[in-house]
Amino acid sequence: MSSDNCVIILQTDGPEYRVAHIMAPENYKYDEEKEDYTEDPDVLIKNARKYWEGCKVFTDKNDAYAEAERIYGEVGWTEYGLFEVLIERKF
């Protein structure tokens, strides 16, 4: 199993925050049509909806960080730690 993993706090318009333990985190930037990585926010939000589907929605950033710390504690170790991603789109 790959150790490419991390806990990511996703911030979208609202603001809304979602937190997930993600494997292969770079893939949320992958554009399947162009077969390459992108910064296009429309592609990013489309992929983010797959990764963070079903995650609890937070409106307070501190609550989202508390959830991230909880998840990180459960996972025990990640290659890329904990970080935040901003996509300026509605989830």
User: Cα–Cα distances in Å, from 53 out to 2, 34, 36?
Assistant: 22, 23, 23
pTM: 0.91
Give the position of tokens 């996509």. 87
pLDDT category at 77 given cuts 50, 70, 90 is: confident
- Average pLDDT estimate for 68-72: 96
* Conformational region of residue 85, where left means phi above 0, alpha means psi within -120 to 50, and beta covers everything else: beta
pLDDT of residue 53: 96
Average pLDDT for 82-87: 96
